[in-house]
Amino acid sequence: MDSIIKIKNLKTSFGEKIIHDGLNLSINKGEIYGLLGPSGCGKTTLLRQIVMLEKFDSGTIHILNDNLDDISMNKAQLLRQKWGIVFQFGALFSSLTIAQNIALPLKEYTDLDDDMIKDIIAFKINIVGLKVSDANLYPSEISGGMRKKAALARALALDPQLLFLDEPTSGLDPISARQFDKLILNLRDLLNLTIVMVSHDLKSIYDTLDRFAVIDDKKIVYEGTLDNISFINNEFIKTFFKGSY
């Protein structure tokens, strides 16, 4: 399979503190890829670096055939339309309704007329499992689970090839969390997405991930499928998976 994201020898530091020291990983097209690791190991930082929200010291990140190190402004802008991001707390624009939140990228980046946009919004709202009647509610009027779904709908507005999720199930009750997992699996199949997520939720890791990387002590200590995890001699992996594999 061809890889859609390739990271080589990535180094990051915040002042004196070194976060990543020679990180390598590659994410294939069509898979659900997880970034795991103890808290503070730089998973979210890595995710933010991949989507150009944060800089890195050295190394290369290739994403969809673009090298983030020497990317032009125009190319970066085009790249941003090819992915969707769901932030940990949704990050919906609080002054806009759900429908307006989803309509925003459509209005900015396409020349579609209002009827067409309405149809697309209704479709996205449905596909993430919200009701069309909720479309005119504001983010402050809906529950945490709905907020995540609405954020997902916004991320999917432009039909991205890549979807980034930052702790998608955190803060959700177990039932909503499992529904969200199913939703992610469904969407991957329906829309041919490649999904990269940071997660701490063991159940969701077992259920959804195809492959994952474990970051510990500034490096990738494991990259691959769940099957081989038990052979890895690492403290975090042993405690995290508790020998259940």
If one asks whether residue 125 binds another protein (CB under 8 A), the answer comes out as yes
Which residues 6+ apart lie within 8 Å of 147 measured at CB?
A: 89, 90, 92, 139
Among 25, 32, 35, 120, binds another protein (CB under 8 A): 120
Residue 2 CB, shortest distance to another protein, in Å, is 16
Applying CB under 8 A, the span of 9-17, 147-155, 187-195, 211-219 interacting with another protein comes to 187-195
Choices 16-24, 123-131, 174-182, 197-205 (CB under 8 A): range interacting with another protein: 123-131
Question: What is the Cα–Cα distance from 14 to 49, expressed in whole angstroms?
Answer: 13
112 backbone φψ class: left, alpha, beta (φ>0; ψ -120 to 50): beta
Nearest to 212 by CA among 37, 45, 34: 34
Check residue 5 for interaction with another protein (CB under 8 A): no
Question: Sign of torsion, CA 23 28 29 34?
Answer: negative
In the complex, the smallest distance separating the C-beta of residue 178 from another protein, rounded to whole angstroms, is: 22
Residue 133 found at the interface with another protein (CB under 8 A): yes
Binding track, positions 41-80, relative to another protein; x by CB under 8 A: ----------------------------------------
Give the three-class secondary structure for 54: coil
Classified as helix, coil or strand, 43 is: helix
Does 140 bind another protein (CB under 8 A)? Our answer is yes
CB-based burial, 54-91: b 16+ in 10 Å, e otherwise: eebeebebbbeebebeebeeeeeeebbeebbbbbeebe
For the segment 146-165, give every residue that binds another protein (CB under 8 A): 158-159
Matching residue, tokens 């390598």: 24
Q: Is 143 in the site for another protein (CB under 8 A)?
A: no
Kindly state the smallest distance separating residue 115's Cβ from another protein, in Å.
9
CB 222, CB 238: distance < 8 Å: no
User: Of all helices (H) and strands (E), which one includes residue 188?
Assistant: helix 174-191
Q: Is 123 in the site for another protein (CB under 8 A)?
A: yes
Asked whether position 111 contacts another protein by CB under 8 A, the answer is: yes
Return residues touching another protein (CB under 8 A).
Answer: 94-95, 97, 99, 106, 109-113, 116, 118-127, 132-133, 135-136, 138-140, 158-159, 190-192
